[in-house]
Amino acid sequence: MKRPTQQIYSNYTTEDFAVWKTLYNRQMEILEPSVSSSYLDALDKVNFRANHIPDFREVDGILNPATGWGMEVVPNICPQKEFFQFLSEKKFTATCWLRTMAQLDYLEEPDMFHDVFGHVPLLSNTAYCDFFRGLSNIALEFIDNPTAIDLLSRVYWFTIEFGMLREKDEVKIYGAGIISSHSETLNCLNQSTVKLDYDVSVMMHTPYRNDIIQDKYFVMNSFDQLYDSLPEIRNCLAQMVG
């Protein structure tokens, strides 16, 4: 299916608004007691709400003054080099199409709810953005080495997508892959899932699958911890690929 390459707000249908509202309300019902306060603060900053599909121009108008970031519309998953290049320029690539009501619980490719609801609010958080951009700069340095990019993708997966955060002795959610998924949110809160302290080396040696519910999550102490670990990420990567 051909996907849009720009957001034309007037093209959203009644079903699109119903899908956004349904997903938003369903997620917030289980997220509010378990998601990071940083995400809730960020959600308020970007003014996301159930009855309004985010308008990217409005979002840019909030992100640009706050952190210098903005959004770049892409039709599908962006190629790695292009994806990291955009991130290094403080541009987050996002789709602008929504799944159908029949696809609420499973989608083979990321749609706007994952990209925007999951990722975008925290782009108003400076410490988070500094790590995100730093990770992309490392990726560009090793972009022609598939082994290095595969190892770095593990860091991205376990931090940006499925990371958890320790707040006041409680483990909270902040990763976009959890935040945008009803089943992942419920799963990560289950006591049976493994919670590992943030460790760059362990993370790089931990493979993942993107077609199943996760069975382990890494827990960070803060976004500052992530940013401060960037030199270690680069050094570990250099040592492992030679």
Do residues 143 and 84 touch, judged by C-beta distance below 8 A?
yes
Neighbours of 145 (CB within 10 A): 14
Q: List residues bridging with 57 in a β-sheet.
A: none
- Residue 228, CB-side half-sphere exposure with 13 Å CA sphere: 8
Q: What is the pLDDT along the chain (242 residues), one digit of tens a residue?
A: 678 889 999 999 999 999 999 999 999 999 999 999 999 999 999 999 999 999 999 999 999 999 999 999 999 888 999 999 999 999 999 999 999 999 987 777 889 999 999 999 999 999 999 999 999 999 999 999 999 999 999 999 999 999 999 999 899 999 999 999 999 999 998 888 999 999 999 999 999 998 899 999 999 999 999 999 999 999 999 999 97
DSSP character string of 89-128: TTEEEE------GGGSS--SS--HIIIIIIIGGGGG-HHH
Task: Enter the CATH code of domain 9-241.
Answer: 1.10.800.10
Torsion of CA 157, 162, 166, 169, to 10 degrees: -140
Domain locations in the chain as residue ranges: 9-241
CA–CA gap between residue 32 and residue 50 (Å, rounded): 14
**pLDDT tens-digit series, residues 80-122:** 999 999 999 999 999 999 999 999 877 778 899 999 999 999 9
Query: What pLDDT is attached to residue 23?
Result: 96
The structure tokens 């390459």 sit at 5
